[in-house]
């Protein structure tokens, strides 16, 4: 947060992907607007993950009509990952909640409350990131899965974000992957 604020005050465009400071996003947004800065935020910079986000949002909207399907979310990361669930899992969970009426909150860990979205987080050695959304009924199971093979996809997306932001000084705007990818 402090680094973001210092850069914006200095007129330096900022690309950020960390999540621990997000409760202060309104302050960052206000400073960005006041300073006519440029700020790019994403919980995940992988192009594949952002396509996965879009598919997840659309499927959640579609599944709102089918209450016989319950939904769960699981994420797996390397043991050095400090946050659980990951920002990517939180984004997926919030998009599911926005798309279906029968879930009102996500819950980290096992839950049997019908209005809670169960989110599980596992940590294993050498796993860049696996995110799985499962829609299950008595009749069948629909599984959406994204598996990062390595970290190069995250780096590529961050570089694309920085290139995108390079000519956005003076806009006073906060941008995200939807702006970069056009959806």
Q: What is the pLDDT of residues 129-140, one digit of tens each?
A: 999 999 999 999
The answer to whether 32 touches 74, Cβ cutoff 8 Å, is no
Q: Which domain holds residue 11?
A: 2-44+152-181
Above 90 in pLDDT, residue 98? Answer: yes
Write down the pLDDT at residue 181: 94
CA distances from 164 to 5, 14, 121 (A): 20, 11, 32
**In which band, very low, low, confident or very high, does the pLDDT at 89 lie, cut at 50, 70 and 90?**
very high
Shared-domain flag, residues 54 and 105: yes
**In which band, very low, low, confident or very high, does the pLDDT at 71 lie, cut at 50, 70 and 90?**
very high
Length of the chain: 183
**In which band, very low, low, confident or very high, does the pLDDT at 183 lie, cut at 50, 70 and 90?**
confident
Shared-domain flag, residues 110 and 28: no
Write down the pLDDT at residue 18: 87
Write down the pLDDT at residue 153: 92
Q: Which residues are within 8 A (CB) of 106 and not within 5 positions of it... i.e. 6 or more apart?
A: 73, 90, 93, 94, 96, 97, 116, 117, 118, 119
Which residue, 178, 181, 175, 183, is CA-closest to 15?
A: 175
User: Which tokens is 6 given?
Assistant: 């210092």
Shared-domain flag, residues 110 and 164: no
State yes or no: cis peptide before 85, omega within 30 of 0.
Answer: yes
Shared-domain flag, residues 36 and 57: no
How many domains are there within the chain?
A: 2
Q: Which of 78, 81, 131, 178 is catalytic?
A: 81
81 is a catalytic site residue:
yes
Which residue, 20, 95, 91, is CA-closest to 58?
A: 95
Write down the pLDDT at residue 81: 86
Shared-domain flag, residues 81 and 8: no
Shared-domain flag, residues 22 and 61: no
Q: How many CB atoms lie within 10 A of CB 138?
A: 6
Q: Which of 36, 58, 77, 131 is catalytic?
A: 77
CATH code at position 128: 3.30.360.10
**In which band, very low, low, confident or very high, does the pLDDT at 87 lie, cut at 50, 70 and 90?**
confident
Above 90 in pLDDT, residue 19? Answer: no
User: What is the per-residue pLDDT across 119-174, written as a single tens digit (0 to 9) for each?
Assistant: 999 999 889 999 999 999 999 999 999 999 998 999 999 999 999 999 999 999 99
């Amino acid at each position: 947060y402090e680094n973001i604020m210092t850069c914006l005050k200095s007129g330096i465009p900022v690309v950020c992907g960390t999540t621990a400071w997000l409760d202060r996003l309104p302050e960052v947004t206000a400073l960005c607007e006041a300073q006519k800065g440029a700020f790019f935020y994403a919980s995940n910079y992988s192009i594949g993950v952002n396509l996965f986000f879009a598919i997840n949002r659309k499927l959640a909207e579609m599944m709102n009509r089918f209450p016989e399907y319950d939904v769960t979310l699981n994420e797996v990361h390397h043991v050095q990952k400090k946050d659980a669930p990951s920002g990517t899992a939180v984004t997926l969970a919030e998009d599911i909640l926005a798309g279906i009426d029968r879930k009102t909150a996500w819950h980290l860990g096992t839950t049997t409350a019908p209005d809670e979205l169960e989110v599980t987080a596992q940590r294993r050695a050498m796993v860049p990131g696996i995110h799985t959304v499962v829609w299950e009924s008595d009749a069948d199971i629909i599984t959406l899965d994204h598996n990062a093979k390595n970290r190069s996809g995250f780096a590529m997306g961050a570089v694309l974000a920085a290139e995108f932001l390079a000519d956005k000084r003076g806009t006073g705007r906060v941008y995200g992957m939807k702006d970069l990818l056009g959806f």
